[in-house]
Amino acid sequence: MKILALCGSLQAESTNLALLRTAAAAAPPGVDVELFDGVRDLPLFNPDIESRRAAPEAVRVWREAMAACDGVLIASPEYGHSLPGALKNAIDWLIGSGELESKVVAVTASTAGPGRGVLGLRALRTTLGAVKAMIVGGEPTVRSADFDRDVAALVKALVAAIAAARQAEIDAEPD
Ligand SMILES: Cc1cc2nc3c(=O)[nH]c(=O)nc-3n(C[C@H](O)[C@H](O)[C@H](O)COP(=O)(O)O)c2cc1C
């Protein structure tokens, strides 16, 4: 099972990136959590770009990575009571092309205390609704003594949701 891990922050010392590394370490055997570091390389979304020529290389790489994964884990900060522009831009590049459609997506934010990051995650969930993503979690993860345990629980819930979605697909296939 392959999980694509996406960080909404572009900072080198990102606390959300650290959360994703904790998640990768907590993944059970047979589950590969792969960090996608190409969000920063994407041009600003503009449908004119593709109407004139083929999609830029960074967009192609992004779409291929999304198409190749079984599920997604996003850890993102809140900026200005919303999701970061870079993350919204990355998602916008997938809305027309479909690689994120109906995917199982776990979302969280690494936060310093209760109440932080909630509006950012709400905005992120609204955007993911545009591609009918199946949301897992959706609440911030406070950097407390329970942080590692909470991150591991989110990974477990994501893996279970991916397995359930796979089974539902198999069950829906005609005999
Ligand atoms: C310009 C700016 C705007 C921010 N806006 C918010 C906000 O609206 N709500 C909030 O809870 N935190 C806000 N923050 C705090 C960030 O969410 C916080 O620093 C977060 O840890 C950054 O994530 P990172 O450590 O993964 O880079 C803001 C930070 C910056 C620099």
Contact yes or no for 52/59 (Cβ under 8 A):
no
Q: Which fold has domain 2-172?
A: Rossmann fold (3.40.50)
| Ligand 1, atom nearest to 112 Cα | 21
Q: How confident is the model at residue 142 (pLDDT cuts 50, 70, 90)?
A: very high
Tell how far the Cα of 141 is from the centroid of ligand 1, in angstroms: 14
Phi-psi category of residue 67: left, alpha or beta, with phi > 0 → left and psi -120 to 50 → alpha: alpha
Name every protein residue with a CB atom under 6 angstroms from any ligand 1 atom: 9, 11, 14-16, 77-81, 116-117
Nearest to 106 by CA among 35, 3, 28: 3
| Ligand 1, atom nearest to 75 Cα | 26
Q: How confident is the model at residue 102 (pLDDT cuts 50, 70, 90)?
A: very high
Q: Does the CA dihedral 108-113-116-122 come out positive or negative?
A: positive
Residue 103, judged by CB atoms within 10 A of its CB (0-12, 13-18, 19+), counts as buried
Q: What does the alpha-carbon distance between residue 167 and residue 87 come to, in Å, rounded to a whole number? A: 30
Tell how far the Cα of 36 is from the centroid of ligand 1, in angstroms: 21
| Ligand 1, atom nearest to 17 Cα | 26
Residues in Cβ contact with 142 at an 8 Å cutoff, skipping those fewer than 6 apart: 111, 112, 113, 114, 150
pLDDT of residue 37: 97
Mean pLDDT within 89-97: 97
Q: What does the alpha-carbon distance between residue 79 and residue 138 come to, in Å, rounded to a whole number? A: 16
pLDDT of residue 175: 78
Query: Whose C-alpha lies nearest to ligand 1, atom 14?
Result: 79
Residues in Cβ contact with 3 at an 8 Å cutoff, skipping those fewer than 6 apart: 27, 31, 32, 33, 34, 69, 70, 71, 72, 73, 155, 158, 159, 162
Q: What is the DSSP string of 6-25?
A: EES---TT-HHHHHHHHHHH
Query: Whose C-alpha lies nearest to ligand 1, atom 18?
Result: 77
Query: Whose C-alpha lies nearest to ligand 1, atom 28?
Result: 79
Tell how far the Cα of 106 is from the centroid of ligand 1, in angstroms: 20
Mean pLDDT within 105-122: 97
pLDDT of residue 43: 97
Q: How confident is the model at residue 53 (pLDDT cuts 50, 70, 90)?
A: confident
Cα angle: 134, vertex 19, 124; to 5 degrees: 35
Mean pLDDT within 102-115: 97
Mean pLDDT within 44-70: 95
Residue 92: helix, strand or coil by DSSP? Answer: helix
